[in-house]
Structure 1
């Protein structure tokens, strides 16, 4: 059993990490423990949070998100739009330079956008409406559209899940099916490739050639002022060891801590809990729409109305401050999200839900629930789903396996008799499913979409209309229309919203809110 005394005693007994002491260079080096190992360096190739955290160190974006989650110029000085809305010209600000000493040109940006638009979901929507990503001169990017795309700045400025990060043209020409491995960007840190050891540590140095913007830093926008000479990521897989290391002062910042360890960390006089992402993650029950029984929309509606989010969120975290009910198919608290599921989600008691299942024509088909045993935030979701479905009269087969097996199984489109599945639960960072275009849990792309393969042509038309909306009022109306469509067709069932904490040494200041941890603006008191 891990106790506070155990952790503090271990920390006091001997150094936990074979690293130079922070005390030797406290004003120059920031030591960080990521939530997982950094294996993919290309932040456009993967939406993994650890790769995006790395990406924001090395690369920059044309537009960032401000404190109101609105796109504002970052590498850009500004933009103009033609009267017909089909030609966008984005001008670069002065002083932009890559880590190899080359100036940032519009050609680099155009090539980076073109590559990103082939990989990212929001980027693909923009790419489908784009004739070309081109240039007028070295300072001016020209995006020519085939139809108006009112959400263009939101697309290229989005902060999570493969942001549109800018690379030198020679790297941006890399085929999107291959990873970029040479880390040359124009961001506030240089990646020290010769010190990179996957599974052990990653090292970044302050880029002296970076010219910050004059505005205050907020989310991924504003002045990215770096106050440390070096940023060292130390991979510590064991949560207890990581907790002991920050208490001993051997590291400054933990990306994540186990909920069970949070009270111990909170008691330490020199360590504070830290929550960078105020919107957390959304837990989701996902149906397989290709196979019975959940190719039946009436049955999906019955389950949506039977789900009480409270036990699901209580199972994820016992701390009430770390969970919220969110009666919506989009994450609560984000711009444009209204809680339209109030009165729908969880509106039926067990007996009424049992009758709704009968009325839907359920024929006793076996319901296979894929459930990972090795992810604490997801495992209880499957257990509770199985319990609920049994109570409302369904034939449930809960299959507990490791996460790797779940990932392999859930791509199968076969019937359950041939190794297929019916339901799988997972979590999504809220910011990554914040609008009708990026929310994979509500899209209707069929077999070209997220596993579960919900096909809904009406939803896709609403998304297209939202992307082309000319005013904020029109966009909000279409956002609500997409939301109501999701509640009607039930591609997925939202199970609630939860929030995770990290930890920082109490002498650190200036940590920003964002969907990942950011290392500019941070200083030591």
Structure 2
């Protein structure tokens, strides 16, 4: 029994992840050797990977689109669509040259004009992109093959920004699509990536289909994360949505599917023992779970209340609710950045004491001035690595004396509802949960969970001029000592303001049939280099 009084078994049952008999569903037809059937971590409810940070949409994005720069396994930017880049002596003008032979799925050549428009739209949406955009005078085309970026001030991390692997990457679209209002999603999927999106076979909540793009021009060399030669060996990808983990596990064992993106930890031992199945860590850097507060509306526009909740939560409860007793699959990480990455210290140990008694936190709630306002917790019942967290938070808030409304829904609805800035009485929200690949929040500029950009930032709309000032200083830091000092200062502001609740760090496992080879580690499921025998 956890300190919040919720048993893991109840959590699994409530999220649809109970250990049911592993019976495989009957799918419509057997897949050929050139077709790979894949079960994503969630339903693909939004198609625009620049408009949303949803991980499943980013995975979709890597099928359809490509980026000017990617990263290798050490997170260093490497040319991808680009042949290379140069910067002027005054560091105010960057020139990026495109590789030969790049084409979009509709047959049109990739031009610098497409890239400039794509970078501009991305810079209006992405956290790191907004920081770069504030320093940019213009994204423009010097000629059809040369992108010119004119800066107002030097931005030494420019290639890191446009090459980051998550969330959202600077995907390149045709100019006509990149001209879409940044606040509206693009719905026509035309990219220059290794796979084409088969729009007439897409059914949200059921399936998505991709076909190999024979006109794709991969780089030479071995693939590594989002860089290198992205060779597409599969003719067709079929994504099959299976919200119930037991059903997905049964389908994998029966050979009805080939690859399950995130295997439920309770089922991993069974899959590991099963002949013909490989289970491996998906991302060596892991994931960070978060609870996100709405800073615009009561009750969590009250910083004292946010601090009280922070002092009461136990990361152990949250992590064990999704990974069970596998101690190697999670760790405490009382930090606002992923633990284990450079310059990251557990700065929040004193703020998050892992209490066994909630009396002090209840007293802090009363002292905060909380006045009985309703706290609405949005919870995706179809997302096994998130749904237990909504149950835990709702129970914790009740134990602290808050009035709580736990609202169960699917993940796609959460993604829509979290955009609302209305009071809870008008369809708004107070808190929801999510997770981030560690590499997506690895530094102050890209960490949307603590950026203080207010109305232009991530949902929840935390605003802090001090956080933004320190982030700009970090971008200009000249020495490793300055980096570490500023990271510590940024974490101190974050633990004082509590824009989000860090719930712990975990390492998911992916599972696939033994006739599937070439699966690469990464912060998303990458389908290049994959073969099916």
Task: Give TM-score, length-normalised by structure 2.
Answer: 0.85
Residue 279 (str. 1) matches residue 285 (str. 2): yes
- Cα displacement string for residues 184-225 of structure 1 (whole angstroms, at most 9, x for unaligned residues): 322122333344444443332322332322232111111111
Larger deviation, residues 364-373 vs 64-73: 364-373
Alignment of 1:42-441 (within 5 A): 42-290=48-296, 297-298=303-304, 300-318=306-324, 319-346=326-353, 350=357, 353-354=360-361, 357=364, 361-363=367-369, 365-366=371-372, 368-371=374-377, 372=379, 374=381, 375-385=383-393, 394-403=400-409, 408=417, 411-412=420-421, 414=423, 424-441=432-449
Contact residue 275 and residue 501 of structure 1 kept, 8 A: yes
1:448 to partner: Cα distance: 4.0
Partner residue, 2:4: none
Residue of 512, 518, 524 corresponding to 2:526: 518
- Cα displacement string for residues 84-130 of structure 1 (whole angstroms, at most 9, x for unaligned residues): 22111111223322233333221221111112222222222222211
Residue 490 (str. 1) matches residue 485 (str. 2): no
1:471 to partner: Cα distance: 5.6
Q: 1:81 to 1:353 in 2, by over 3 A?
A: farther
Contact residue 368 and residue 423 of structure 1 kept, 8 A: no
Q: 1:128 to 1:235 in 2, by over 3 A?
A: same
Contact residue 58 and residue 187 of structure 1 kept, 8 A: yes
- Cα displacement string for residues 267-320 of structure 1 (whole angstroms, at most 9, x for unaligned residues): 210112243223333222444545666555455445434433222222232132
Contact residue 365 and residue 395 of structure 1 kept, 8 A: no
Give the Cα–Cα distance (whole angstroms) in 2 for the partners of residues 408 and 178 of structure 1.
15
Larger deviation, residues 366-375 vs 249-258: 366-375
Give the Cα–Cα distance (whole angstroms) in 2 for the partners of residues 383 and 233 of structure 1.
29
Question: What RMSD, in angstroms, separates the aligned Cα atoms of the two structures?
Answer: 3.3
Give the Cα–Cα distance (whole angstroms) in 2 for the partners of residues 385 and 235 of structure 1.
27
1:467 to partner: Cα distance: 3.1
- Cα displacement string for residues 424-446 of structure 1 (whole angstroms, at most 9, x for unaligned residues): 54433433332222323212233
Residue 16 (str. 1) matches residue 26 (str. 2): yes
1:60 to partner: Cα distance: 0.8
Larger deviation, residues 283-292 vs 113-122: 283-292
1:47 to partner: Cα distance: 2.1
Partner residue, 2:517: 509
- Cα displacement string for residues 31-73 of structure 1 (whole angstroms, at most 9, x for unaligned residues): 2222333343332222222222122112110010110112111
Give the Cα–Cα distance (whole angstroms) in 2 for the partners of residues 196 and 368 of structure 1.
38
Q: 1:447 to 1:164 in 2, by over 3 A?
A: closer
> For structure 2, which runs of at least 5 residues remain unmatched after alignment?
1-12
Give the Cα–Cα distance (whole angstroms) in 2 for the partners of residues 470 and 97 of structure 1.
39
Q: 1:376 to 1:42 in 2, by over 3 A?
A: closer
Give the SS at the match of 1:395. Answer: coil
Q: 1:130 to 1:302 in 2, by over 3 A?
A: same
Larger deviation, residues 301-310 vs 418-427: 418-427
Larger deviation, residues 63-72 vs 35-44: 35-44
Give the SS at the match of 2:26. Answer: coil
Task: Give TM-score, length-normalised by structure 1.
Answer: 0.86
Q: 1:313 to 1:199 in 2, by over 3 A?
A: closer
Give the Cα–Cα distance (whole angstroms) in 1 for the partners of residues 240 and 395 of structure 2.
41
Q: 1:420 to 1:50 in 2, by over 3 A?
A: closer
Q: 1:153 to 1:361 in 2, by over 3 A?
A: same
1:505 to partner: Cα distance: 0.3
- Cα displacement string for residues 137-172 of structure 1 (whole angstroms, at most 9, x for unaligned residues): 222111011122222112111112221111222332
Give the Cα–Cα distance (whole angstroms) in 2 for the partners of residues 45 and 127 of structure 1.
16
Partner residue, 2:472: 464
- Cα displacement string for residues 362-390 of structure 1 (whole angstroms, at most 9, x for unaligned residues): 34632644333725544544554466567
Larger deviation, residues 506-515 vs 185-194: 185-194
Contact residue 410 and residue 424 of structure 1 kept, 8 A: no
1:17 to partner: Cα distance: 0.8
Give the SS at the match of 1:255. Answer: strand
1:178 to partner: Cα distance: 3.8
Larger deviation, residues 349-358 vs 113-122: 349-358
> For structure 1, which runs of at least 5 residues remain unmatched after alignment?
none
Give the Cα–Cα distance (whole angstroms) in 2 for the partners of residues 31 and 79 of structure 1.
38
1:229 to partner: Cα distance: 2.5
Larger deviation, residues 372-381 vs 177-186: 372-381
Give the SS at the match of 1:209. Answer: coil
Give the Cα–Cα distance (whole angstroms) in 2 for the partners of residues 39 and 389 of structure 1.
30
